[in-house]
Amino acid sequence: MTVTDPALLAEALRQLPHGPEFRFLDRLLELDPGKRGVGEYTLRGDESFLRGHFPGDPLMPGVLLIEAAAQLAGVVAQSDPAIPPLAGLKLTALRGVKILGSTQPGETLRIEAAVTGRMGKLVQAAARVELHGAAIATVELTLSGEANSV
């Protein structure tokens, strides 16, 4: 069952451990808890990292495209109703990373992530970042955390 209620989607985003200045998801559009999700991030133009990347021609760094994908994968993984959330969930491995394009201020990225496997404290996911319907980044990633003690 896909969650589309705006209040529930906003609550899922609030579960991210990142502070607002390092959050690369503005909106969660779809969430199939524990399975897949779709989100968006709009590059505003006032982000501090743009001052040096690159002066006069600001571009979102490719590594932050991958971070946005990892954040969405974390939201998806932590929303599984059958599995308790993992404490301290972090990005721990990347495979097959492809950065195929870039984004400039004012543009909105569409990010899709799907959990592809789990084993203990590890979560495997595949993600894609799109701009205007074309992939600008793809990645297979691993997140890891610790089981929450009760």
Which residues are tagged catalytic? 53
Q: Answer whether 32's CB lies under 8 Å from 24's CB.
A: no
Distance spanning both ends of the chain, measured CA to CA: 28
Q: Answer whether 30's CB lies under 8 Å from 40's CB.
A: no
Collapsing DSSP to helix, strand or coil, 38 comes out as strand
The values of phi and psi at residue 51, to 5°, are: -60, -35
Query: Cβ atoms within 10 A of the Cβ of 136, count?
Result: 21
